[in-house]
A and B are shown apart, each in its own frame.
Chain A
């Protein structure tokens, strides 16, 4: 991409350590429910569309902004654009949605939203990300899918 990044000099944060695997999780007889950390691990390494950095390093995604309800089959992810007028917000949200769509069982209802008060077009971005028909249409666009695949590739 020849376009200059919206946020030329973003703040870079430290990465979390790897998840510690408990004895319980090694026990095949215990059902491991999905938890926030697991969702975080699925999306932390998504690449930013503009910088050679992960969404975790830019603190776009954080474990504390994820909630999971296994009983209700609901996953909710809030993400935080690095700057309030980030033009990539929809693309980042779409990458998160696609990654979770591919990785999670289909019973889960995934909601991806901009963290409240962190983007000028928060409402418009959220509405677009929540519209599954528009998401389905976007995912039939090969150019866009290629860009998303580059983002989610690790």
Chain B
């Protein structure tokens, strides 16, 4: 049995704290929320403190913040229909580009592994792919209308330019660019959840994906490439993603977020029952029908819904979480 030790509670935001994001080096993180501000936190001695507060970037709730892989840029997605890009080329963090185009609320933003592409998604049911075209310049590469409802989350494959999106239409979709005509298209639809898919996370290899849903389950999906040994039928020479594991019976309400640590392989979930749970793949797990053990159930992790969980990318087993109660917590996991 594992244990989550609370290292610190931070007064994050007025109103809902929606999202936290680690800087790639794991020494700094950003948070955002209903109060329309972004806070950047770092450690001073043993204490995490606010170092910078970014205001006036957005007119409405900031739903998500994400660092670029190089750590020099921060993107923020807002209900005001825009995505802002922040950097500190001038010495201070400033918003130097605003991506406009979505009709209404932007729900998520993600950087590709190279940092050359950005994806955004929103309530207008679309997913947009943007290319970094130059200093502070971003060009829209594609508008993908594969979902027929609100798109909640976008995430890139850890090493390839493959994009995944999760939606209120209960599905997950994957996209990539066709190398011949450089058109982006949907290459797979992952169907199994019975309600809104709120979030998703690739494992270290990118061959597997974890998704979480309002149906109170977590699902693990595996990619089967053309000519796979398992004999899974693949059409059109595109990989097939199959649900190979469903974790049900653990969560008592909607699961809002999931994070899969690329160093330790641990999965953490954020749930509407105020609980943080941690899962680990069993040692004798079958790759085509894996089993995951619940290592830790942190009751009352927050006093309200947990909205987001994020493992420190260095693999030091630090976990960030934030909640409707406005608080941000930093935990240390030990097995």
**Contacts known (A106-B303, A109-B253, A127-B195); A136 close to B123, Cβ less than 8 A:** no
Q: What is the distance, in angstroms, from B61's C-beta to the closest C-beta of chain A?
A: 6
Do the beta carbons of B325 and A130 come within 8 Å of each other?
no
Interface string of B32-64 (1 = CB under 8 A from A): 001000000000000000000000000011010
Classify the interface of chain A: helix, strand, loop or mixed: helix
Which residues on the A side are within 8 Å of B168 (C-beta)? 127, 131
Do the beta carbons of A133 and B304 come within 8 Å of each other?
no
The count of chain B contact residues (Cβ–Cβ below 8 Å) is 24
Which residues on the B side are within 8 Å of A109 (C-beta)? 253, 272
Q: Which of A107, A130, A137 is the one whose CB lies under 8 Å from B123?
A: A137
Q: Which of A107, A127, A136 is the one whose CB lies under 8 Å from B16?
A: A136
Q: What is the distance, in angstroms, from B17's C-beta to the closest C-beta of chain A?
A: 12
Q: Does A140 contact B (CB under 8 A)?
A: yes
**A118-B71 Cα distance, complex, nearest whole Å:** 53
Q: What is the distance, in angstroms, from B274's C-beta to the closest C-beta of chain A?
A: 9
Residues in B66-122 with C-beta less than 8 Å from chain A: 79, 104-105, 107
- The number of inter-chain residue pairs (CB within 8 angstroms) is 38
Q: Which of A130, A132, A134, A140 is the one whose CB lies under 8 Å from B150?
A: A134
The count of chain A contact residues (Cβ–Cβ below 8 Å) is 12
Which residues on the A side are within 8 Å of B253 (C-beta)? 109
**Contacts known (A106-B325, A127-B195); A137 close to B79, Cβ less than 8 A:** yes
Do the beta carbons of B304 and A106 come within 8 Å of each other?
yes
**Contacts known (A106-B303, A107-B304, A136-B16); A127 close to B196, Cβ less than 8 A:** yes
**A106-B326 Cα distance, complex, nearest whole Å:** 12
Do the beta carbons of A140 and B304 come within 8 Å of each other?
no
Interface string of B274-308 (1 = CB under 8 A from A): 00000000000000000000000000000111000
Which residues on the B side are within 8 Å of A137 (C-beta)? 60-61, 79, 104-105, 123
A-B contacts besides A132-B305, A132-B324, A137-B123, 13 pairs, CB < 8 Å: A106-B303, A107-B304, A127-B168, A127-B195, A127-B196, A130-B214, A130-B254, A131-B214, A133-B63, A133-B107, A134-B123, A136-B79, A140-B79
Q: List 24 A-B contacts (CB under 8 A).
A: A106-B303, A106-B324, A106-B325, A107-B303, A109-B253, A109-B272, A130-B214, A130-B254, A131-B150, A131-B168, A131-B196, A132-B324, A133-B63, A133-B107, A133-B152, A134-B123, A136-B61, A136-B79, A137-B60, A137-B61, A137-B104, A137-B105, A140-B60, A140-B61
